């Protein structure tokens, strides 16, 4: 399923990248290798962001800066505090740098991939994530400000980080295959100008993206020969045994 929590500030995004997203400690079942990280999105491709996520490009985007020419694409607004005439204070919201969407594989799928050691299941998860994000991106909208309605652009920049462990509890890191998708707060209009995202389109589309992920994952697993049961929420549940071929 896909889950999108509250937006992150630039400092939070960059701190998470250093301590969590790109940390090899988040991939216990893939020890000895770095976290798999890659770009996705039409705007990412048009800006030359392909393949592995580089720290410098990631950092610049967190500040709303073009990853190559360093031009400001989205104005970075710091949080400020004002004193009102009645003596009360008002604090403005800091610039929203990105949203961290998490796409998690069902427990049985995680076990088949990680404990069962079937790397093909892990690849099935990756393929399903890519498919879900392709559909999710179609609903990206630009925030135009004022009373102007949001404009659908269908373009975003996303950085994917694949992890295979949950946060440790009492020193034990349980197997949990999931992908963090950092969606940066920038999109591009047809005229080439860049704007901040309208976050409502993200939240309104996350259930749809979840359904696409589940459907794509089920298709991939069946092609691998796994017998699939549908869980209560519609998520696929793989059986340990596979059909003979």
User: What pLDDT digit, counting tens, does each position of 5-56 carry?
Assistant: 888 999 899 888 877 777 666 666 665 566 789 999 999 999 999 999 999 9
Predicted local distance difference test score (pLDDT) of residue 20 = 73
User: What pLDDT digit, counting tens, does each position of 140-151 carry?
Assistant: 999 998 889 999
Predicted local distance difference test score (pLDDT) of residue 238 = 60
- What are the φ and ψ backbone dihedral angles of 44, each rounded to 5 degrees? -60, -45
Q: Is the pLDDT of residue 4 over 70?
A: yes
User: What pLDDT digit, counting tens, does each position of 63-107 carry?
Assistant: 999 999 989 998 766 655 657 777 776 654 557 899 999 999 999
Predicted local distance difference test score (pLDDT) of residue 51 = 94
Mean pLDDT of the chain: 85
Residue 29, C-beta contacts closer than 8 angstroms, at least 6 positions apart: 114, 164, 165, 175
């Amino acid at each position: 399923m896909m889950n999108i929590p509250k937006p992150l500030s630039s400092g939070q995004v960059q701190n998470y990248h250093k301590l969590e997203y790109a940390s090899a400690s988040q991939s216990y079942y893939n020890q000895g290798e770095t976290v798999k990280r890659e770009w996705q999105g039409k705007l990412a491709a048009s800006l030359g962001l392909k393949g592995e996520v580089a720290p410098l490009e990631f950092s610049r985007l967190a500040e709303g800066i073009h990853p190559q020419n360093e031009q400001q694409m989205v104005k970075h607004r710091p949080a400020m505090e004002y004193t009102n005439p009645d003596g009360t204070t008002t604090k403005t919201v800091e610039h929203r740098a990105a949203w961290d969407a998490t796409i998690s594989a069902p427990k049985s799928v995680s076990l088949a991939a990680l404990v069962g050691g079937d790397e093909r299941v892990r690849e099935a998860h990756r393929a399903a994530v890519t498919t879900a994000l392709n559909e999710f991106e179609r609903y990206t909208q630009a925030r135009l400000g004022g009373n102007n309605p949001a404009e659908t652009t269908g373009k975003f920049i996303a950085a994917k980080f694949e992890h295979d462990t949950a946060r440790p509890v009492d020193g034990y890191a349980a197997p949990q295959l999931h992908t963090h998708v950092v969606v940066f707060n920038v999109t591009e209009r047809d005229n080439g100008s860049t704007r901040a995202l309208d976050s409502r389109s993200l939240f309104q589309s996350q259930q749809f993206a979840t359904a696409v992920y589940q459907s794509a994952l089920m298709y991939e697993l069946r092609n691998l020969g796994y017998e699939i049961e549908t869980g209560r929420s519609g998520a696929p549940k793989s059986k340990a045994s596979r059909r003979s071929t």
